[in-house]
Amino acid sequence: MNPSSLKGTAAVAAQFLLLGITSAAPNLDVSEFKYSTHKTQTSPNWVRADNSTSMIFDGINSCPTQSNSEFLVHSDISLVKTIDPRSLIPLTGNRSTTLQETLVGEIRSWGLLNDNWDGEGSLKPHSQSSKEAVSFVNLLGETITAPEPMLLSSGHIALFWNDHNLYADIEFLGDGRIAYFIKVNDDKHKGVLEFDSQQMPTVFKAILLC
């Protein structure tokens, strides 16, 4: 692809919300797309973007939005389905970023942090814990009060509610388990349970979503 036309693609696509990709690849995580803006990238797995490559810029996640960048893409991007930008719905005017998207964006932005991010020796964010937290947020829907995301010293991500009579702290342990402590009025619930990132565990349905 001619770099100038790729620049055009970036500029146009950045204004659109990604829709439709989930039906093509249900488990595709936009944040996992590999890209580079470094022209000096010489690894054999990195190739200049061409006409067969569709770059996705959703304006929320960590994909590049610089309009003057030349992009190299990783050759193992094979899941991406080419999307006609005309099939996407423009963000401008009709839709603002949801709180869920803001939460997901905040959690993903922590991925850039290194060890000792707090000056007290804390560990950098645990990538699997982050993914599990994002999956959980996406399962919450918009029917309940949004939690606050937390980055713990261990590098684990947690979600926190502290409103009215609800205090809840849910930590994603990064191995498919969640440790939780929930207090509703004077009722306390705590434990560790399995989380498959596909379904909201029943205990949370009962307590958080009621």
Partner 1 sequence: MDCQKLNQDIENNGAVRIDGINQAAPDCICEKYRMSQFSPNTVDNSENLARFIFSPIHVDRKGRIKPSIFSQIFTTGCSIQRDGIATSNELIDFTQKFLSGDDNRLWKGVLIAKSETVRKIVNSLKNQAICVYDTAEMDNPAHAEMMISYNIAETDRAELTARLYEVFDNQNPISPEKYRNGEIWQELPSDLKRS
Question: Which residues contact partner 1 by CB under 8 A?
Answer: 110, 117-123, 148, 150-154, 158, 160, 162, 167, 169-171, 173, 177, 179-181, 183, 188, 190-192
- One-letter identity of residue 178: I
* CA atoms of 134 and 136, how far apart (whole Å): 5
Q: Which amino acid is at 10?
A: A
Min separation Cβ 167 and partner 1, Å: 6
Give 81 or 177: the residue with its C-beta nearer to partner 1.
177
Q: Which is nearer to partner 1, 44 or 121 (CB)?
A: 121
To the nearest whole angstrom, how small is the minimum distance from the Cβ of residue 149 to partner 1?
9
Q: What angle do CA 39, 61, 195 make, to 5 degrees?
A: 125
Question: Under a CB-based contact definition with an 8 Å cutoff, are residues 210 and 200 in contact?
Answer: no
- Closer residue to partner 1 (CB): 30 or 113: 113
Least distance from C-beta 61 to partner 1, angstroms?
19
How far is 91 from 58, CA to CA, in rounded Å?
10
Closest by Cα among 62, 57, 54 to 81: 54
Q: In whole angstroms, how far apart are CA 127 and each of 87, 106, 160, 167?
A: 32, 14, 19, 26
Residue with Cβ nearer partner 1 (80 or 158): 158
Nearer of residues 41 and 154 to partner 1, judged by Cβ: 154
- The secondary structure of 125-177, three-state, reads CCHHHHHHHHHHHHHHCCCCCCCEEEECCCCCEEEEEEECCEEEEEEECCCCE
If the CB atoms of residues 95 and 188 are measured against partner 1, the closer one turns out to be: 188
User: Cβ 177 to partner 1, closest distance in Å?
Assistant: 8
Q: C-beta of 108: minimal distance to partner 1 in Å? A: 14
Least Å distance between CB 88 and partner 1?
Answer: 29
